Every structure is written in structure tokens, then in C-alpha cells.
Chains A and B, each alone.
Chain A
Amino acid sequence: MGDAIFEGLARFAGIFVLVLLGGIIVVLFVGGLPAFRQFGAGFLISDDWDPVHQVFGALVPVFGTLVTAVLALIMAVPLAFGIAFYLTELAPLWFRRPVGTAIELLAAVPSIIYGMWGFFTIVPIMAEYVQPFVIDTVGDLPLIGDFFQGPPFGTGIFTAAMILAVMIIPFIAATMRDVFETVPAVFKESAYGLGCTTWEVMRSIVIPYTRISVVGGIMLGLGRALGETMAVTFVIGNTNRIAHTIFGPGNTIASIVALEFPESESGSLKLSSLLALGFILFVISFIVLAISRILLRPGAKA
């Protein structure tokens, strides 16, 4: 009797989690339905965001979300790899735990703190040193130079991506470290025995052995970067325009929802558009996180 009740409770709790996910999808979709109905498929390709004329489109925030997340990934992956490599192969044993903990603590710092740190510490550095330097050097190059021009405000897409990179480094590094540690010592020792250097063992043994999980860890970082709200809101410049340079201002789905929500009346088309944006964000991050989970599943090794 007690067994049946307990198992029932446990199963019920499990089903509750499924209902929760289904609920989030349905609620966001139903909330966004008036906007989808009003604008149809054009919602996805329109770059308007005009509360006065009640015209809304998702193109700019979707573009900003993808660009900042991908840029963040490009910056974070090499650093996270370096940290994971250092922590598994290079660091002295007694040093691994404190350094590993410190890197993990980066993941514990609340998002809003990253926003304030970014706005008050990183933005001035970007505006005074990094951006003028890059604009003066790379900005004059043919073809790619156009992406590195514009006034050096300090805020913008590039700065947002940088802050996001710092935020996702601990997640990617932790996953990489964990999977690097699953490589059987025999494999590494055989390679060392043949005279391989540490880097050659990493490149030829550890990475091929763990590559699927490594990609899974990177996707996990991407999923995190897509939905970050507070940090991005502080530094991205919040303009609903597709910038032509990476130093230009922009917005992301999460930042526009956080900023515009207080000015949206309940039941308005604007609020519905925000919920529709939330639905799009959920779909994008669900796909990315689902891929990450499938790749990180135990037994999904090459």
C-alpha cells in the first residue's frame, strides 16, 4: 500500500515536469498567437518595432540573439578548451581543485552582476582602448574592414558577446574537463610511451576520443548564451536596428522582452509580440539544448 502511494507520487512528480515543459510551450504560443495571427510569417522577417503604429517584427532581436551567441561561442571555446586542458593535464595536482573551483564560481555569479561589471568596467575599456585601436587598424582593411567601423561607444554587439563569453566559459570548461577525464589512462600512456608531447596526446588521443561530448558541451554553452537577459540588457545598446558593424548597438530577444515588457499593457498586441518572441527563443534554445543533451548522453561516444 505504502509502496503504491510512494511510487505514484514519484511518477506524478515526473509527469509534472513534462507538463511543466508542455505548459511553457503552450502558454508562450497561445500568448503570442494574436501577434502570429496579425503578422503571419512576416513576423519573422520584419525588422519593424513600432509601438505607435502597432507594427512588430522579430527579425532584429532574432538576428541579435544569434549573432551575439555565436560571437560569444567563438571567443569562449578556445579559452574554455585552454582551461580544461590546463586543469586535466598541465596543472600541478594540488592546484587543480582551487583553480577549478574558482572557474566554477564564475558560473555562480548572478547575471545582473555581469551586467553591472560589463557596463562599469568593460564598456569604458572597450570605448577608450579596444575599439579605437581595432577601428584604426582592422577597420581600414578591404572587405572585412567595414565590420569593424563606427563610433566607439563601448556598448554594442561585440561587448555583449564578450560578456556572454565570460559567462559561458565555466559551463563549457567544466563539461570539457569532465569528459577529458573519462579518457582511459592506458590510451594516453601509450601515446606518451611513443614519445608524444602533451599537446600531441591532447590532439591525437583525447580530442578524438571525446569529440562528441566536447561538441555537446559547446552546444550547452550556446544554449546558455541565447537566453541570457540581464547582462546583455546592460551592454548591448538596445536599438532595434540591424547594425552593420560588430561594434554597433542592437538587441536580443531576451533584452527586448525585459526592456519593453514594463511598457506593454496586458492584452495589447505589443505584449503578444513579446510572448511570441519568447516562444521563438524557447524553440531555438530547446533545439540547441536538446542537441547538447543527445551528444552528452552517456554512451554517445565515437
Chain B
Amino acid sequence: MSATIAVSGTVPGAAKNIAASVQLGRSRHRTNTVVKSLCVLATALGLIFLASILFTLIVRGFGGLSTTVFTKSTLPPGSHGGLLNAIIGSLIQTCIGTLLGTPIGLMVGTYLSEYASGSKLGDSVRFVSDVLLSAPSILIGLFVYALMVAPFGGFSGIAGCVALAVIVIPIVVRTTEDMLRLIPVALREAAVALGAPKWKMIVMVCYPAAKQGIVTGILLAVARVAGETAPLLFTSLGNLNWSVSLAKPMASLPVTIYQYAGSAFEDWVQLAWVGALLITFGVLAINIAARLVLRVGK
């Protein structure tokens, strides 16, 4: 490492030129103070953005919160509808999506950590999974559309679940692999020394030991997919009527928010803000819970 200390100008010996070295010292400290202040400012700005988002949601959404939101489905403008079908639809799709994606993600994470060290296949799986982690979610929607919606002639709740599952997989992979790698070798050796086959060692020793981390990953995945809009536009489409059938188009909070926020009806826009408030605080709460799970575990 070639770390050259780049101090502006040459450093004059204190004895040679006191005025110049005092000057240099001042300017260095001035630069330091300016940069530090800018950093504090940047952090403050980041916090202001978060506060502004939460503030906007509360100001615009809180007033519209009422029991009808949770007891009635979406209705035509002016007839005091709620968001029940959207909330239930979101719950169903998020749950099934997570249930479909988690086992696959868990197995991939296990493969990467326990079986694939140093192998070409393992390296490419890890690489691809990490790329999928940040891939645009709208493309996953298009993919599932072309795979499940176009050929079978219709938007469906199950297509939405599959799209969300595809998003869940790489999130669970990342945390599972990271958490399994943290388990001490001694623990594994103890299990193997007792005569346990490798799979039993993984399932009965490694998984329980990495439980908190894995749960955190799943919670983060739930929080991520619960707020996804773009992939659902092409798969479960949204549905303004009550429907819990997985074979039919299904409503979801984000898609309903999207449809309502852009509408010209005041009560719909109000409901969109209520939905936005619910989904954001729900998602943030799950995120914080995920962090707490990890911290309690340590």
C-alpha cells in the first residue's frame, strides 16, 4: 500500500518559517472543519428526507384512517369504500410468495456455504444470486407475465406470488449463506464426531445455531416484497372487487395505491395515502423487528 500523506504544499520546518507553518496549520484545520461540517450536513439531509417522507405520510394519511378502511373493500368513488381486499390480497401474496421463495433460498444458501466452497458452479451461483438481488423488479414482473400470464390467458394472484417469490430467493440466499459461514468449525466437528451425517449436522446443528440470522433474512424479504408494485402490475394486476381466488386477478395495497393516487377523485387519493401510511409503517416495523431479532441473538 502506498499511502502518501498529501498535505498541500511542502511542510516547512517550524524553525525555518514560523509564519508559513502557522498559516499551513490554519488552512489544514479550516479544510478539515469545512469537510466535517459538510458531512454532518449530508447526514442531516439524509435524516430530513426520511423525516419528510414519514411526516408527509402521517399528515396526509392519518386523517383518513377509520374502521371502514379495514372492513370494506374498494368501492367506486364517492361510496366510502375501504382497502380490505387490498390488505388481504397483499397479505396472501406476500405470505405465499415468501413461502415459495424461502425454501429455495435456504437450500441455495446452504449449498453455497456447505457444499460449494471453491467450486466454479458455486461461484457462478453466488454471482448470479447477487445480481438478481439488485435486478430491476419490473423485469421479474415481465418475466413472470411472459411465463405464466400470457400463455394461460389471464392475470392471476398465483402469478403475483411467483413474481414475489423470485424476489425473495436472492435475499434469503444472501443472509443464509452469511449466517451459516459464521458458525464455528468446532461446533460442526462436534456433531460429525458424534457420528452425525453431514446433512444432519447442517439441519440439526447449523440451522438452529444460525436461526436468528435466517429469520432476519426472511423478515427482510417479507418487508421488501410487501411494498413491491411493479412486478404485481404485470402478474396479479389488481382487482377492485373482493376476491381471494389465486386463479383470478388479485388486489394488493401497492397496486391499489398506484391506481388511486393517480385518480382524480378526492376520496380515492385520500385512501391511497391511508394505504401508503399502512404499508410504509408496516414495512419499517418489520425491518426494525428483523434488526432486533439479530441483536437479541448476539
Contact = CB atoms under 8 A, between A and B. Distances in A.
A151 interface: no
Interface residues of A, number: 99
A233 to B, nearest CB: 8
Interface of A (DSSP majority class): helix
A213 B134 CA distance: 17
A229 B28 contact: no
Contacts, number: 277
B272 A116 contact: yes
B197 A275 contact: no
A116 B276 contact: yes
B38 A82 contact: yes
B168 to A, nearest CB: 12
Given A17-B173, A187-B3, A204-B5, A3 B199 contact: yes
B115 A11 contact: yes
Interface string B193-230: 00001111011000000000000000000011011111
Interface string B99-122: 000001001101110111000011
A112 B52 contact: no
B116 A28 contact: no
Contacts of A173: 46
A293 B131 contact: yes
B164 to A, nearest CB: 13
B1 to A, nearest CB: 6
B84 interface: no
A109 B121 contact: no
Interface of A: 2-3, 5-7, 9-18, 20-21, 23-24, 27-28, 30-31, 78-83, 85-87, 90-91, 99, 101-106, 108-117, 119-121, 166, 169-170, 173, 187, 191, 194, 196-200, 202-205, 208-209, 220, 223-224, 226-230, 234, 254, 257-258, 261-262, 266, 274-275, 278, 281-282, 285-286, 289-290, 292-293, 302
Interface of B: 1-7, 28-29, 31-32, 35-36, 38-43, 45-47, 49-50, 52-53, 56-57, 60, 104, 107-108, 110-112, 114-116, 121-122, 124-125, 127-132, 134-140, 142-143, 146-147, 150, 166, 169-170, 173, 197-200, 202-203, 223-224, 226-230, 233-234, 254, 257-258, 261, 272-273, 276, 279-280, 283-284, 287-288, 291
